[in-house]
Amino acid sequence: MKKLLIICAIFFAGMQQIHAQQNAKAATEVEMKTYYMVFLKSGENRSQSKEEADKIQAGHMAHINKMAEEGVLILAGPFLDNGDIRGIFIFDVASQEEAEAWTQKDPAVISGRLVMEIHPWYGPKGLTYQGAPTKKD
């Protein structure tokens, strides 16, 4: 009888360890989904006057805010190295065509100052736009 109790105790201890390992594994697994990353690159038409370029930039920023308000934009921002790739958008939309349609409405793309290059990107599900930092942040 003692042997049976010892065997049962070992069995249940082993089962508890297996259950704990399964729970730890489940807690570290992240659900993934497809997003669309747009690289905004320097376009062919960058010869606008400073006033016109400033107007285009203001429209570009307004468009970013609109896309964020609509819930389709996850992330946006410029690259700081003054290279050919000027910035990125990451979209949470149903298709690459939808990401392209949103990007084509951007005044900087319409004017030719920027051109887009779109790639599907696999990232953690549930990403949300946090917005630009404010002076309080």
Pairing of strands 73-78, 114-124: unpaired
SS3 state of residue 129: coil
Q: Distances in Å between the alpha carbon of 4 and those of 1, 8, 13, 112?
A: 5, 6, 14, 80
Q: Distances in Å between the alpha carbon of 111 and those of 5, 50, 104?
A: 80, 14, 10
9 and 70 co-located in one domain: no
> How far is the C-alpha of 53 from the C-alpha of 108, rounded, in Å?
9
Q: Indicate whether this model's pTM tops 0.85.
A: no
What pLDDT digit, counting tens, does each position of 78-94 carry? 999 989 999 999 999 99
Task: Give, in degrees to the nearest 5, the angle at Cα 102 between 55 and 50.
Answer: 15
In a domain, 72, yes or no: yes
> How far is the C-alpha of 101 from the C-alpha of 114, rounded, in Å?
15
Q: What is the number of domains present in the chain?
A: 2
Who's near 56: CB < 8 A, 6+ residues apart?
A: 48, 107, 108, 111, 113
Report the percent of the chain where pLDDT is more than 70: 74
CB atoms within 10 A of CB 121: 15
pLDDT of residue 75: 92
13 and 58 co-located in one domain: no
Domain, as residue range, for 37: 32-124
In a domain, 131, yes or no: no
pLDDT band at 134 (very low <50, low <70, confident <90, very high): very low
> How far is the C-alpha of 67 from the C-alpha of 18, rounded, in Å?
46
Which residue did the predictor score with more confidence, 136 or 102? 102
pLDDT of residue 21: 60
68 and 93 co-located in one domain: yes
In a domain, 129, yes or no: no
